[in-house]
Structure 1
C-alpha cells in the first residue's frame, strides 16, 4: 500500500513531531510512505525520516505558489499511483490537494484537522473568508475526516460532518520525571535557584508569547527569582527580544531555540504556560502532564488537552496580573505521576499508531 503524507511546511513543529513519533511506532512492513510538503524550513528531523527509509519530497519550496504546488502534487499523484493521500492541514484551502488527488485517481483522501483558527494578521479577514468558502466547497473531495480536537473539527469541516477523533499521542515513558536530570539541566542553564516559567513552541503571533513577558513583569514583583524559558524559534523572536529589553526583562528571559530534548527542558521547568490565541490541540500540554508539570493554558487550547488535574484553563481577558497570581498560587506543587491516566485517555503514541494503521489498511479503527 502506497501512502502520501502531506503537510504544508516541514520544520520543527507539532505536526512533524507527531507524524514521526507515530510512524516510528507503526508497523510499516507493508506500507510505502512518502512525505510531501510545500516548503522545508528545517533539517532537524531529516535524520529520523531517513532512518525509517522514507522519502521527503518538496513541491515548489514556497507556500505562496499554490497553483504551482497543486500542479506538481497532481503530477506526483499520477506518477506514484498512491492508494491513500493523508492531508495534515491547518486551513481548509489545503483541501484543494484532495481535489488534485481525486483527479489523479487516488481513492482514499483523508483530511486530518490540526488547526482551530487563523493567526492574527492584516489579511486575516480575507483569509477567514477564503477558509469558510473552501471548507464548504473542497470538503466534497475528502473521503475520511479526522481531527485532533473538537475545536479543530469545527474550524476545519462543514457543520455536522462525521469525523474521527485521533488523539495526538506521545511517547509517554520518555517524559516521566527525572529529578537528577532536572538538577543537571538547571545547572547547565544557570537556573538552579530560579522559579522557571516555560513555554515550548514556535515563536509566532498566534502563540502569543508576548503575553508571557507581560505576566513576567507582575510575577517577578512577588517572586524575584522568576524567569521565562522559551523553547522554540520563529518569526517573532526579534520582536520578543526587543520587547523583553523594553520591559527590563533581558536578564530574566532565556531564548533557548529549538531542541529535540524537550523532556529534559520540561523537567527543568516549574510551570508550563500556554498563552496561545488558537491551538488545534497543544501537544506540549500532554507532554508536560506526562512530566508531572503544572500547566496553565489559555482558552485557545482545546479541553481535550487537559485530561489530568495538572491543567488549569484561564481566559486571556483576565489579564497578565491575574495569570501571574494563578502561577504564584501553584508554586511549590509536587510533581505527580500521570502516565497511566494519559494512557487510559488514549494519549500513548503506540495506541495512536495502531488506530491510524488500522484506518489506513481497513478503513476501520481497532
Structure 2
C-alpha cells in the first residue's frame, strides 16, 4: 500500500520531514510513503524519498481562493486509486485537502500535529479556525506529544506517535567523535551544539548567542555549532557585538547531524515553544547531556542527563549549567531509549498496523 504524506516543504532542515523519513525507512516493505508539498526550500530531501521508492509531488499552496477545491480535486482525481491513506501533517490545512481526497476515494485520512502553537510566523487566529475541521471531522488524529495533542484537539481522542529515531545510528561512538573533532580542529575545546533554523523565532537564537558569550568568557576556545542555522544580519551583528564571531559556526542544513552530535559536549535548546523536538531525542541518543527550557514538554527528557531551566533565568545561569553538563562522561544510551519507547523500529511497526487496520 502507498500512503501520501502532505507537508509544507521537504527541506533538509524541516523537522517534520525528518520524522517522515525516519518512519518511511523503517516501514515494512509493503508500505511506501509518497510526499506532496507546496513550498520550495533547498536543499530538499527529494532524493531520500526516491531512495525508498517514494514519489514526490509539488502542488500550489492550499488557499481560500480555491475554496471549492478545484485544483485539489484535479490533483487527487489524476491520481485516483494510488493511495490507501492520506497523512496530513498540518491540521489547519486539512479543510483544503481532505474533502478532495475523500471525493477521490481515499477513506483513510490522518491528521498530525507537531507544535504547541497555531502558527510560528503569524496567522494564529486564522489557523486556529481552520484547524476546527480536523478537530471535528477527521477521526484519525496523531500528536507528537500530549502537550501538542491537547493544544490542537482539546478533549477529542488522539494517538501519540512519538518523534522516534534510529537509536542505533545515533549511538555514542568514541571513534566517530574523535574523527569529527579532528576534522573541525576542536582539539580540547568545549563544544556546544544546537539544531534549528534561524528563520523560526521559537528557536531563540539571540538568547543562545548571549548564553555562549558567558561560556566563552571562561572557555576562550569554546565553539558553538548552530546546525541547520544560516547567518542573518541580526545574528551576525549580535555575534560581533558580543565578540564571539570567531567561535560561532553557522552550519546550515546538514545531512551528517548524527556525526556532528558525536563531536559536541553538550546540547543547548532554550526554545520558546515546541511540540516535541526530535533533535532533543537525537541528542540524547548520541549520549549528549542536554540543557533545555521548561517550555518544552518533559516527555522528551528520557535520560538522566537533562537539565530543565526557566527562560527567565539569565544567560549567565544557563552558561553555568552548560559548562557543568559538559563534564558528564559520555556513554551509550541505546538501551535506555529503546526501553523508553523511542526507537523507530517498534514505533514504525505500530504505525504500519494502524494504517493497515483501516484499509
TM-score w.r.t. length of structure 1: 0.90
Aligned to 2:265: 270
Q: How does 1:161-180 map to 2 (within 5 A)?
A: 161-180=156-175
Establish whether residue 141 from structure 1 lines up as the match of residue 137 from structure 2. Answer: yes
| Residue among 177, 180, 191 paired with 1:182 | 177
Alpha carbons 1:119, 1:205 under 8 Å: kept: no
Separation of aligned partners in 2, 1:32 and 1:79: 19
Shift of 1:138: 4.2
Separation of aligned partners in 1, 2:319 and 2:20: 34
In structure 2, the CA distance between the partners of 1:228 and 1:278, relative to structure 1 (3 Å rule), is same
RMSD: 2.2
In structure 2, the CA distance between the partners of 1:305 and 1:237, relative to structure 1 (3 Å rule), is farther
Separation of aligned partners in 2, 1:66 and 1:183: 53
Helix, strand or coil at the partner of 1:4: strand
Establish whether residue 88 from structure 1 lines up as the match of residue 122 from structure 2. Answer: no
Separation of aligned partners in 2, 1:281 and 1:104: 33
Separation of aligned partners in 1, 2:342 and 2:301: 11
Alpha carbons 1:119, 1:206 under 8 Å: kept: no
| Residue among 282, 306, 309 paired with 1:311 | 306
In structure 2, the CA distance between the partners of 1:238 and 1:332, relative to structure 1 (3 Å rule), is same
Aligned to 1:74: 73
Separation of aligned partners in 2, 1:141 and 1:155: 17
Alpha carbons 1:78, 1:105 under 8 Å: kept: no
| Residue among 334, 338, 348 paired with 1:343 | 338
Separation of aligned partners in 2, 1:303 and 1:96: 33
Alpha carbons 1:7, 1:88 under 8 Å: kept: yes
Alpha carbons 2:116, 2:273 under 8 Å: kept: yes
Shift of 1:119: 5.7
Separation of aligned partners in 2, 1:21 and 1:138: 25
Report the count of equivalent residues.
354
In structure 2, the CA distance between the partners of 1:2 and 1:262, relative to structure 1 (3 Å rule), is closer
Cα deviation 1:143-166 (Å, max 9, x = unaligned): 201111012112222x21111011
Unmatched 5+ residue regions in structure 2?
A: none
Aligned to 2:47: 47
Cα deviation 1:294-350 (Å, max 9, x = unaligned): 011112322111111122211111121211121122231101321111111111111
Helix, strand or coil at the partner of 2:24: helix
